[in-house]
Amino acid sequence: TSKKLNVKTGMDTESIKADILSHLRYSLATDIETANKKEFYKSVVLSVMDRLHDSWLNTQKEYREKKTKKIYYISMEFLIGRLLDNALVNLNLEQEFRDACKDLGYDYEEIRDIENDAALGNGGLGRLAACFLDSMATLGLAGFGYGIKYDYGIFKQKIHDGYQIERPDDWLRFGTPWATTRPSVMYPVRFYGRSVPYTDEDGHLRFKWENTQHVYALANDIPMPGFRNGVVNNLRLWKATSPKSLDLTSFNQGEYINAVRDIELHENISRVLYPNDKIFVGQELRLKQEYFLVSSTLQDILREYKQQHDDLRDLPKYVAIQCNDTHPNLAVPDLMRILMDEEGFDWETSWDITVKTLSYTNHTVLPEALEKWPVSMLRNLLPRHLQIIYEINKRFINKVHEHFGDDVNRVRRMSIISEGEQPSVQMANLGIVGTHKVNGVAALHTDLIKKTIFRDFFEMYPERFTNKTNGITPRRWLKQCNKPLADLITSEIGDSWITHLSDLRKLDDKVNDKKFMKKYSDIKQQNKERLAAYVKENYGFELNTKAIFDIQIKRIHEYKRQLMLAIYAAAQYNYIKANPDAPVVPRTIIFAGKAAPGYAMAKMFIKLINSISDKINNDPDMEGKLQCFFLDNYSVTLAEQLIPAADVSEQISTAGMEASGTGNMKFALNGAVTIGTLDGANVEIKEEVGDENIIIFGLTVEGVEELRRSGYSSWEYYNADKALKQVIDQIRDGFFEPDHPSLFHTITNSLLDGNDYFLVLADYPAYAEAQKEVDALYSKPDEWFKVALYNTARVGKFSSDRTISDYATDIWGCEDQLNKGRE
């Protein structure tokens, strides 16, 4: 063509092709004839990056020039998954890149599949952080993610003989083209040493943190584009590195080797994500990681701030810092330390700045998930911080006395330091005392924290507590992962839904439009077939695409009750065996999820699910009627395949235990029908979609309380329900594992002798009834798809754009920035 190519920034196919070829040659030293797929993938990503760089730089420049208030989202986890589709959707360059790949002899899908997930998170909390970055950029907020660039993300799960095996997730083996290392952005992070008192020139007692050991934090930046708005924000991930280049002349041979070996020790801080989800284990390396993140991030925030402003007392006016759970809550004492020890402010001024700048999100009420760091560990690792925490606590306890009088029990409950055999710092208490807002993640959850774990604090500081119901980004979780449905919706109601998800309400009217409904149901079928092909290819299983696709995907945890669906699967098996001629609505049950490597019960659930699956799938009597699969190595990418294909969404936690859930929202948006308890955000999903369009069963939070108070006995439920008893007996007696009949005794013991803390037996009869409702509804396809469509149409509230707008307005004080200049 005669048209001039704009290799780096041109948005046309020819320019993009030229750029890919140029990257192959000049970035990777290969060419189109000899390059392999990985190299081609890399060149594609580098060409996408070229098209982000101007916006990335301009966005940051604009923030500086306009002195925009900056939002810092600090999180130990960012489960961002793959980035290529997302970047292309947001840049509106999908077709151009597809064509460019094709012209150069590659299939876009094949190239996309080369990318490893960035799996720097465990589950909900990490994925929420990723959705928030997308929404902040899309809303035009100056929102920055800060995290750790782990060499190893969440482990790769394999299944051997039905058991979970963990393998390292070496996602960086070939580097990632998305991350730009910034050698000039590097901060020392200090550990150990001691706090030394001295008197300053004004005669004030002050402290210096001395004799510390240093590790360096090196910035790696990943661009976070907004949806077609020219905004590119930043996710900054810190990599740990050793202090300075070694001065080789000063070493003799032995010291040299040791010194080089020490580099490894320093780098260990950012080596691996702790794979524990909601179980606190007080490992020192984890504490180091948390302080490493907090210290480097605060240094970065303050350096940036000082380049634009001269009075740190205005910090809360220009900076908001959100702590994702308590994991970054050392920000409270660290900001205090910086303001007092390094900037020379007095306590009161420093405290005022700190509290007004910081806020904290709680994601769970489970007591075993709450971080409590031993005082002894902090004294060794962060002596000055411990001293500050003691002072915060002393002043706080005085306030408690002023507020409540002499109530020793209350003081003991509220103290940031819990005394006892091993005194420890309660990071949640520190977060409530040291920030201006604490939020829960769904209405029910926020009510619960006010009434239970944080009740005393709520009574003292009611205005600090606020709800911010979670959300998901419609870009990834509809537009990208379910293109056929996204296109259908857009052709009917336009594409405003992509950034205004509540516009999906316009689909409500379509329930009586036969043509539309046919297309809507065809898409579900098409997605099921796509999933079946994927599962066949990657796992070797044949899914029955005529069956109900009934899916439970999430971390494996007792409170999430995967066991209840497993029992249901076994009960269905028994029913079909006993009634071979009875009609059944065919079902394909799919599980996926990882168990924390140290969580024996969760790992046993995986084995049980696999044993039950084997029994079912190898029995010819089940053919066309029942299937059950556990798909290994659940990931964001696998979720993107599964969710669009789901008919039924399993959200069956014991009421009061799932803070919100976000998978529930993704399924509903993609037209799956929820079978669930009144827990977390299920309550709000029900409010939105209407009682007739969700299948709710089981005990409520109050019901759970009442049952426990009045003396629950799981034996009664065991004896009262024949089908349930039969399955439990089978599990106990080795029916599913004949070679090792006592294998599942830990499970059956916890249900019976252990009195079933999670109330699986108590809820089972209601659950089995609810599953019958599912069957009945599914047998009337017209009815079913109406319900499904009402789900798609009515869950606009659960866009993370709405969630972020709420944070911006009620917590961050930057509502004036929302959508500014873009609409």
Active site residue 555: yes
Does 39 engage in binding with ligand 26Y (CB under 6 A)?
no
- Which CB atom, from 560 or from 625, has the smaller least distance to ligand 26Y? 560
Q: Stretches 148-156, 197-205, 278-286, 450-458: which one binds ligand 26Y (CB under 6 A)?
A: 278-286
d(C-alpha 493, C-alpha 502), whole Å: 12
The C-alpha atoms of residue 655 and residue 678 are separated, in whole angstroms, by 6
Q: How far is the CB of 276 from ligand 26Y (least distance, A)?
A: 4
**Alpha carbons 61 and 53: distance in angstroms, whole number:** 12
Least CB distance to ligand 26Y at residue 556 (A): 13
Residue 363 annotated in active site: yes
* Those residues with Cβ within 8 angstroms of residue 501's Cβ, 6 or more apart along the chain or in another chain: 474, 795, 796, 797, 798, 799, 801, 802
Q: Residue 95 is encoded by which pair of tokens?
A: 């077709």
What is the total residue count of the chain?
Answer: 823
Q: Among 363, 476, 603, 615, which residue sits at the site for ligand 26Y (rule: CB under 6 A)?
A: 363
Contacts with ligand 26Y in 776-815 (CB under 6 A)? none
Least Å distance, CB 648 to ligand 26Y, is 19
Stretch that binds ligand 26Y, among 296-304, 477-485, 602-610, 654-662 (CB under 6 A): 654-662
User: Cβ neighbours of residue 243 under 8 Å, at least 6 residues apart?
Assistant: 188, 214, 215, 216, 266
441 binds ligand 26Y (CB under 6 A): yes
Phi and psi for 657 in degrees, rounded to 5? -105, -25
Per CB under 6 A, the segment of 187-195, 364-372, 699-707, 709-717 that binds ligand 26Y is 364-372
Among 19, 304, 371, 763, binds ligand 26Y (CB under 6 A): 371
Identity (one letter) of the amino acid at 552?
Q
Identify whether 662 is a catalytic site residue.
yes
Query: Within 13 Å and on the Cβ side, how many CA atoms surround 322?
Result: 25
Is 278 among the residues that bind ligand 26Y (CB under 6 A)? yes
Active-site annotation holder among 560, 607, 732, 794: 560
- CA atoms of 652 and 697, how far apart (whole Å): 9
- DSSP notation for 192-218: S-EEEEEE-TTS-EEEEEES-EEEEEE
621 secondary structure, DSSP code: G
Distance of alpha carbon 117 from its chain centroid, rounded?
A: 13
Amino acid letter, 99 = D
**Is residue 279 a contact residue for ligand 26Y (CB under 6 A)?**
yes
Give the chain's end-to-end CA distance (angstroms, integer).
36
For residues 405 and 399, what is the distance between their CA atoms, to the nearest angstrom?
9
Q: Give the CB-nearest residue to ligand 26Y.
A: 124
Q: Which of 385, 450, 554, 587 is catalytic?
A: 554
Name the residue nearer to ligand 26Y (CB basis): 55 or 326. 326
* DSSP β-ladder status, 648-651 and 548-553: parallel
677 counts as binding ligand 26Y under rule CB under 6 A: no
233 scored as a contact of ligand 26Y (CB under 6 A): no
Task: Kindly tell me which residue out of 28, 165, 186, 369 binds ligand 26Y, with binding defined by CB under 6 A.
Answer: 369
Residue (488 or 596) nearer to ligand 26Y, CB: 596
Instruction: Say whether residue 277 binds ligand 26Y (CB under 6 A).
Output: yes
For residue 362, state whether it binds ligand 26Y (rule: CB under 6 A): no
Site for ligand 26Y in 55-114 (CB under 6 A): none
Q: Has 666 been annotated as catalytic?
A: yes
**Residues in contact with 437: Cβ distance below 8 Å, sequence separation at least 6, in sequence order:** 359, 360, 464, 465, 466, 810, 811
122 binds ligand 26Y (CB under 6 A): yes
Q: Between 441 and 606, whose beta carbon lies closer to ligand 26Y?
A: 441
Strand partners, 372: 426
Site residues for ligand 26Y, 469-528, by CB under 6 A, read: 470
- The answer to whether 693 contacts ligand 26Y (rule: CB under 6 A) is no
**Which of 27, 268, 276, 490 is the binder for ligand 26Y (CB under 6 A)?**
276
Q: State in angstroms the smallest separation of the CB of 103 from ligand 26Y.
A: 42
> How far is the C-alpha of 620 from the C-alpha of 513, rounded, in Å?
40
Size of interface with ligand 26Y, in residues (CB under 6 A)? 22
Q: Near ligand 26Y by CB under 6 A, which window of 100-108, 139-147, 450-458, 656-664?
A: 656-664
For every residue of 19-87, DSSP letters joined together read: HHHHHHHHTTS--TTT--HHHHHHHHHHHHHHHHHHHHHHHHHHHHHHTPPEEEEE-S-EEEE--HHHH
Q: Which of 650, 658, 737, 763 forms a contact with ligand 26Y (CB under 6 A)? A: 658
Known catalytic residues are 363, 554-555, 560, 662, 666
Residues that bind ligand 26Y (CB under 6 A): 122-125, 128, 276-280, 363-364, 369, 371, 441, 470, 658-662, 680
